[in-house]
Amino acid sequence: MLTELNDDALRQYSDAKTAFLALYEAKKAAKEVRGSMFWREVGGVEYLIRANVSSAQKSLGRRTEETEAIYHSFVERKTFTSDRVSSLKETVLKHQRLNRALYVGHTPQIVIDLLNMLAEQGLMGFFTIVGTFALYAYETAAGVRIDNAGALATQDVDLLWHNGKRLQFFTHLNRTQERSMIRLLKKMDSSFQVDELDSGGYTATNNKAFQVDFIRAASRDGEPHPFAFSDDEDDLWPVPAKRAESLLSSPRLETVVVSVRGEMALMPTIYPYDFYKFKLWMATQHTRPEEKRRRDKTQAEVMLRMMKDYLPQYLPKDAPAETEG
């Protein structure tokens, strides 16, 4: 059911993860100094101007010792972060080649691309991976490979939206050039389109039948229902899901996952034991198709074994010896 990665692969993953996280933080620092600063003379007086990436400009005041210090600090930080990002990108590329050579990961490439796209747009903090694909994060954290193909058999990724942060989310989404979730997905893969499900919900599907499902907790009093991610009439609508509220309350676990090509991304998931309990509950839902219920139970069994043997820090003392049912 579980196969341990060899020592070479484990060492390589550790080194690659360190480099990737350093680049991740460097990119965040670089975003703080995006745009430019320059001096502009108006009526014989010089003013410090800050321009953002959209070319919007703001005066920071007349030229003084204070504004000169602001200007020099900005230039130094921008140069430093730019050089650091460039250097770390080269390092990460080297690790990608080693990851591929040593078979470090097997997370589907499209999931890596999706996670990195959301991170680049500043939106990953509003989503958590809660379905089958979370298993790639757990196996990576455990240093093992799940051998049971049935446990990983799916063509849709579930992203739980933190609708309690919807105002901050809308602000961040509107800062993107695309200003809608479906357009962002199309930027990653132009074949994505919005499809209506038989259940009445919506999903984004590409030409390889891979689906991106956005789910959310049921609306509380005073919250709009239903609602789309943006004003774009063709945009996606996050679909209410059972027990989503309890999943939102689970502590967030972030793991660097690796694709067969060696590329990396940071995947946010719920705590392993909460995933186990959720899958065990899903397996008892008789309105759910039988093949999915069997897969849910298999995933719960895999998760329990993984925690017992490799991730005991996430396993409560009163955890069951085996899955029930």
Which of 100, 118, 135 is the last residue in one of the domains? Answer: 100
Q: How far is CA 114 from CA 111, 121, 123, 129, in A?
A: 5, 11, 11, 11
pLDDT at 94: 98
135-186 pLDDT, tens digit each:
999 999 999 999 988 889 889 999 999 988 889 999 999 988 899 999 999 9
Residues 137 and 79 placed together within one structural domain of the fold: no
| Nearest Cα to Cα of residue 325 among 259, 260, 281 | 281
Q: Is residue 276 part of a domain?
A: yes
Q: Could you tell me the residue range of the domain that residue 38 belongs to?
A: 27-100
Is 324 among the domain residues?
Answer: no
Q: Which residues, in sequence order, are CB contacts of 158 under 8 Å at separation 6+?
A: 129, 130, 131, 132, 133, 213, 215
> Is residue 224 domain-shared with residue 306, that is, in the same domain?
yes
Question: Do residues 40 and 47 touch, judged by C-beta distance below 8 A?
Answer: yes
> Is the CB of residue 147 less than 8 Å from the CB of residue 3?
yes
Q: What is the pLDDT of residue 54?
A: 74
Q: How far apart are CA 144 and CA 97, in angstroms?
A: 20
Per-residue pLDDT of the chain (325 residues; tens, 9 = 90+): 899 999 999 999 999 999 999 999 999 999 889 889 999 999 999 999 999 877 789 999 999 999 999 999 999 999 999 999 999 999 999 999 999 999 999 999 999 999 999 999 999 999 999 999 999 999 999 999 999 888 898 899 999 999 888 899 999 999 888 999 999 999 999 999 999 877 667 899 999 999 999 999 986 654 556 678 888 888 998 988 889 999 999 999 999 999 999 999 999 999 999 999 999 999 999 989 999 999 999 999 999 999 999 999 999 987 776 665 5
Helix (H) or strand (E) holding 57, with range, is strand 57-62
268 and 238 within one domain: yes
pLDDT score for 299? 95
Beta bridge partners of 269: 129, 253
* Domain closes at, from 39, 74, 100: 100
Same domain, 212 and 307: yes
Best CA proximity match to 139, nearest among 112, 165, 172, 104: 104
Is 322 within the bounds of a domain? no
- Return the sign of the alpha-carbon dihedral for residues 85, 127, 206, 257: positive
Residues 148 and 280 in one domain: yes
Same domain, 85 and 184: no
Q: How many independent structural domains does the chain possess?
A: 2
Q: Are 72 and 112 contained in the same domain?
A: no
Whether residue 49 lies inside any domain: the answer is yes
The answer to whether residues 36 and 93 belong to one domain is yes
Which token pair is 48?
A: 């410090």
Residue 68 and residue 198 in one domain:
no
Decide if 285 is inside a domain. Answer: yes
pTM metric for this prediction: 0.89
Residue 239 included in any domain: yes
Q: Are residues 49 and 168 in the same domain?
A: no
The domain boundary residue, chosen from 100, 119, 148: 100
Give domain status of residue 244, yes or no: yes
**Are 59 and 74 contained in the same domain?**
yes
Residue 119 and residue 208 in one domain:
yes
